[in-house]
Chain A
Amino acid sequence: MRLRRTLTRALPLTPAVALLLLFLAGPIAYCAYIAFTDLQLTGQAHSSFVGLENFRTAFKDDAFLNAVWLTLVFTVLSSLVGQNTLGLALASLMQRASKPVRTVVGGIVITAWVLPEVVAGFLLYAFFRREGTLNAILDWLHLPTQNWLFTLPILAVSFANVWRGTAFSMLVYSAALNEIPKEITEAAEVDGAGGWRRMWHITLPMIRRSIGTNLMLNTLQTLSVFGLIWVMTRGGPGNRSQTLPLFMYEQAFQKSMIGYGTAVALLLLVVGSLFSLVYMRLLRTEV
């Protein structure tokens, strides 16, 4: 009787479940399988199962290790340090700002965020390139100019990602800061705590959960940034801005090694989960 009722209630879900299995779980399982084969996009009649060969190749491959390193640099710089800190700073400042200032600043930051990735990429490319805006400004200030996309590509794309993604952190932190009861802050003020101390002892502990959520979402998003870097540098010059997603694309679609590319994709998944685990441990709510 009970079972039958459960089954009956599950009935309306069947189409959704079937679709999910077909279009989500299916491809994911297929992907995981491909990672253990030597499947190629072109140039082979049959693919075969090769076990852990792709993963062994990856860890011996300097280009892969370079991509892992650059991915870490890119993520730490642009997500952990850049977007996160800047987002919190903007949100705190906007708490105290007047309404018109809030509207204007918020508007600008959010515009950068809603732009399509490719458009943002081109804008930043135009900003950093040799005849670009940044060099024009430096020139006007009589400072030395250089081709930023060539000399410091990973910094340039990290900056671009900060420019584009800060809005998200700002929105999360604005919401979190609004949740803090005024009485507490006022009490601290009466007790003579300065701005920094209030930040450190009251604000941060109280928005701890939002920090965790934001870091997690931000990191996962940044790990998979492709379009922005592709438009700005294509992972070049050489492979000095080739993060894992770009490396994956190159192996799978430019060198036709779908199997190897997919294996790298799984490794990227591992990197993402490691970050998530660290955040979860660091930000456990029970102190």
Chain B
Amino acid sequence: MPVRPTAAPLLLATLLTATALSACGSGSGSDPDTVKVSFKQSTDNSIRVMDTYLGEMKKEFEKANPGKKVELVPIKAPDSEYYTKLQQMLRSPKTAPDLVYEDTFLINSDITSGYLKPLDPYLDKWPDWNQFVDTAQSAAKAQDGKTYGVPDGTDTRGLWFDKDIFKKAGLPADWQPKTWDEVLAAARTIKAKVPGVTPLNVYTGKPAGEAATMQGFEMLLYGTGDGTSDPLYDTASKKWIAGSRAFKDALTFVHTVYKEKLGPDVSDALDPNFPTTVRGELMPKGKLGINLDGSWLPQDWLKGAGHEWPEWSQKLGLAYMPTQTGQAPGKVSMSGGWTWSIPAKASNPDLAFKFIETMQTKANAQKWYIANSGIAVRKDVASDPGYVKAQPGIKFFTDLVASTHYRPAYPAYPKVSTAIQEAMEGVTTGDSSVDKAASGYDEELKTATDNQVIRK
């Protein structure tokens, strides 16, 4: 006797399927009274500068806006993996937070992808926006003329040196090199006279990511010309520059550092966590002579940070990075920074901007610049003695803003940056000569920029 299909199993099967399918449809569920904020958490567990600050902001915001909540969503990862994770979150309204922390190096890429919301309607109604310096206002301005982020400070870069090591090597305590050769000469002196320390650190290779490109390579490359034209991107023809003399010169510097063993051991330099090691171990323990690095280093050494090191300002000296041969303008620095942006797929954009306003009041912005050793982008803070005197070094790095350069903020930049890291890595390991690494870059550049390449 054949079994008759009755309604019951049919119904049951349909129901089962339906529930199974809908169960994964409403994952995150957006609450209209909650702002979800994604930010990058340090991979060093003892460093919680940003977590602490955002915790305070959350309290202040919830007190001022009863019934509204802030949910902090930390992403704990090295920079490059943070970007990846964030981009994947931004692709869907289900996972997009309401507020994201974006690196200006990638923001144009994300704008082109349509991941972010233009903030102009909000900024027009926000009086504090006029306090932001021009460069900061355009930090997150896209090619369509709209603004997509509010910067929470900027940064500059220079040479940090260890006064004790310099003393042992017989170098001056007020050291200020005028050319690249003088930087190398000091490193050679340290190598000869102070055994057991790393003379000079220049970040390099793919594991260090953007730190290698910006703190390492571009600090050299942008010091090759007269400081007015961009050595990576030709604005006149709107093309990326390949095969330049300047590029090879900068590579040669990196090559020299590692070939003559003036830098860290190559295997250390190519360890992805090396930047953390430099700040947390090598510098506080007096194991590094000269470090080409950013203005934000002291944030790890402040009170309450993981590697408290209050003596740093007596132990370390600062010098600006000189141009290649000392030609005008004499000094060079790169600037970047991070912005607060609202994803295009955010569920509560208005509330998110309200939270930006809370974070960017004069008092709160000042608190943040100081806490994270950032350089002020608000005019009222920059001229506030409370900020200028808050930390040794702030004045030095704020003055560098006058001679700083910004990276070419085009969607292709992240790929160009990776190509630079590969070229650096080749000359660091000694796998390729400078010429070979440079021609490898030229090839990669064509792929990365869809053949928008010019020879100069």
Where the two chains meet, the residues of A that have a C-beta atom closer than 8 Å to any C-beta of B are 1, 4-5, 7-8, 11-12, 14-15, 18-19, 22, 40-45, 57, 130, 147, 149-150, 234, 236-238, 253-256
Contacts of B207 in A (CB 8 A): 234, 236
Contacts of B265 in A (CB 8 A): 130, 147
Contact B10 A11 (CB under 8 A): yes
B interface, size bucket: 35 or more
- A63 CB, nearest partner CB in chain B, Å: 9
Bound complex: CA A1 to CA B20 (Å): 31
Contact A11 B13 (CB under 8 A): yes
Bound complex: CA A201 to CA B204 (Å): 57
Decide yes or no whether B121 CB sits under 8 A from chain A.
no
Contact A238 B267 (CB under 8 A): no
Bound complex: CA A132 to CA B119 (Å): 52
Decide yes or no whether B137 CB sits under 8 A from chain A.
no
Contact B17 A45 (CB under 8 A): no
Contacts of B130 in A (CB 8 A): none
Contacts of B425 in A (CB 8 A): 236-238
Bound complex: CA A14 to CA B17 (Å): 8
- B210 CB, nearest partner CB in chain A, Å: 11
**Which of B110-118, B278-286, B328-336 lies at the interface with chain A?**
B110-118
Contact B267 A42 (CB under 8 A): no
Q: Kindly list the 7 A-B residue pairs having the minimum CB-CB distance in the complex, ordered from nearest.
A: A150-B267, A43-B109, A43-B411, A15-B17, A42-B109, A15-B16, A253-B84
Decide yes or no whether B3 CB sits under 8 A from chain A.
yes
User: Which residues of B from 4 to 43 have beta carbons under 8 Å from A?
Assistant: 4-5, 9-10, 13, 16-17, 20-21
- B447 CB, nearest partner CB in chain A, Å: 8
Contact A12 B13 (CB under 8 A): yes
Contact B429 A45 (CB under 8 A): no
- B34 CB, nearest partner CB in chain A, Å: 26
Contact B270 A236 (CB under 8 A): yes
Report if A41-B267 is in contact (Cβ < 8 Å); known contacts: A11-B9, A12-B9, A15-B17. no
Interface of B is mostly: helix
- B103 CB, nearest partner CB in chain A, Å: 12
Contact B87 A238 (CB under 8 A): no
Q: Show 16 residue pairs from A and B whose CB-CB distance is below 8 angstroms, ordered by the A residue.
A: A4-B5, A5-B2, A12-B13, A14-B17, A18-B21, A41-B113, A42-B109, A42-B414, A130-B265, A236-B206, A237-B267, A238-B426, A254-B80, A255-B414, A255-B418, A256-B414
Bound complex: CA A145 to CA B270 (Å): 19
Decide yes or no whether B245 CB sits under 8 A from chain A.
no
Contact B88 A45 (CB under 8 A): no
Contacts of B87 in A (CB 8 A): 41-42, 256
Contact A256 B426 (CB under 8 A): no
Contacts of A11 in B (CB 8 A): 5, 9-10, 13
Of A15, A44, A57, A256, which contacts B13 at CB under 8 A? A15
- A31 CB, nearest partner CB in chain B, Å: 15
Closest to A252 in B: B84
Bound complex: CA A150 to CA B269 (Å): 11
Report if A8-B3 is in contact (Cβ < 8 Å); known contacts: A238-B429, A238-B431. yes
Contact A256 B270 (CB under 8 A): no
